[in-house]
Chain A
């Protein structure tokens, strides 16, 4: 009969179980899949991330050197990060803050020159040169 009373009494002295978000924010766990980041200088615009993305929220334009990401359609699965052959994509450990308007993230890099991958870091051999 009184088991729960004991639990409740204990809770009374333990303080709240919740946090006053957003004033106190818990540290993220290591390797939590959060916001996407693209080091656009190294991106070869190979389009592999676009083809692997299950939610179709990425677009690249190799001719213009544009990488576009719709964070509101993204499901933060990290598939694109695994797919990127030059490892210029990564995920932060924190998620995006709530927003009041929809937005897309558009990163402008150097358009790929003809005849192969460009960029630092010896990306040459792996980056499949087929544009999407």
Chain B
């Protein structure tokens, strides 16, 4: 039997970002997939040598445009731990609020792209239309639309007032209602099911062995979510991870859809428990962290790890960022064999690949 080798990407209609997969095909089924990366490597980690600690916040935000808030949140938590300070309680809750808004908009972006990759254009439009309103909430409360630039060492830079928070809460309710209306169209639609159920199956053992994280791992039955470590204010929000056990593309779709609703709920509860008070510590001197630390948070795509090393200078010695897609790529390579060529785009998109954060 002859094999055919088909290049998939780096420019492909379903891929928002450049990754190249070399697919070995036999009779329309994938036998092997090999990745090629390096199209968007920017060397951001090395910028620590040229930027001081507060300036690095703006740099790490640019690792990923979609979840900039969560990158900055993670970085600031790490630096704060090294300095032995803690952001005030109100800032902690606000960070959760914005992180969850970012998760919602990231998942909505993905849900739209996923619908689009199935050829379901009107659903794509619906999700993106809702997403715009989440972006509006972010812009009105933080000052910037996508890369929100709201974290600082020792707190946050904006403090939404009561009227704004009431508006956010009301808008969240309306958005949730609209999403629930779309739920059957996403999850039960026969076309969607036919394209996703049983496609790209990743067993629980494979997911663990290959180090999958986030919704990709949770759709295979691994109930691990970094928010369970109760960083920031998650400990006060009684967070429960969303888990599915089928491990196929439809399970990943269900996890992300239910997580979107769960995140809206977290925003609502964060507003309810928001304490009064300061949002930003006054630092007496420029931060000069000393020591090593590993910080982990949950990004929309999964576990994000930062390793920071400082020697008491105003610039850190090393920042290492392990983004969730980096961890999910081996799992993707394991999902693809056996999949038919026409399903490769769907399965690839089902891990929500973010290549510019993978390569940084």
CB <8 Å contact, A33 and B59? no
Q: Which residues of B contact A54 (CB under 8 A)?
A: 51, 54-59
- Chain A residues within an 8 Å CB radius of B126: 4, 7
Known contacts A8-B122, A78-B149: A33-B51 contact under CB 8 Å: no
Closest residue of B by beta carbon distance from A5: B185
Which residues of A (18-64) have their CB < 8 Å from a CB of B?
Answer: 29-33, 52-55
Residue interface mask A1-15, B partner, CB < 8 A = 1: 101101110000000
Within 8 Å by CB of B58, from A7, A32, A75, lies: A75
**Is the beta-carbon distance between B149 and A33 smaller than 8 angstroms?**
yes
User: At the interface, is chain A mostly helix, strand, loop or mixed?
Assistant: loop
Count A interface residues, CB 8 Å.
Answer: 22
Q: Is the CB of B184 within 8 A of A3?
A: yes
A54 to B59, CA, bound (A): 8
Tell whether B117 is near chain A: CB-to-CB under 8 Å: no
**Chain B hits for A76, CB < 8 A:** 144
Q: How many residues of B contact A (CB 8 A)?
A: 27
Q: Is the CB of A52 within 8 A of B184?
A: no
CB within 8 Å of A: which B289-335 residues: none
Q: How far is the CA of A55 from the CA of B51 in the complex (A)?
A: 9
Q: Among B122, B140, B149, which residue has its beta carbon within 8 angstroms of that of A77?
A: B149
A101 proximal to B (CB < 8 A): no
Are B140 and A79 interface neighbours, CB within 8 A? no
Q: Closest Cβ of chain A: how far from B38's Cβ, in Å? A: 25
Closest-CB distance, A15 to chain B (whole angstroms): 13
A3–B51 CB distance below 8 A? no
B147 at the interface (CB under 8 A from A): yes
Chain B residues at the A interface, C-beta cutoff of 8 Å: 51, 54-59, 122-123, 126, 129, 132, 136, 139-140, 143-144, 147, 149, 157-158, 181-182, 184-185, 189-190
| A-B interface, 8 closest residue pairs, ranked by CB to CB distance from nearest | A54-B58, A54-B55, A29-B140, A4-B185, A77-B149, A33-B143, A3-B184, A3-B185
Report 6 cross-chain contacts, Cβ distance below 8 Å, ordered by A residue: A1-B190, A3-B182, A54-B51, A54-B59, A78-B149, A79-B149
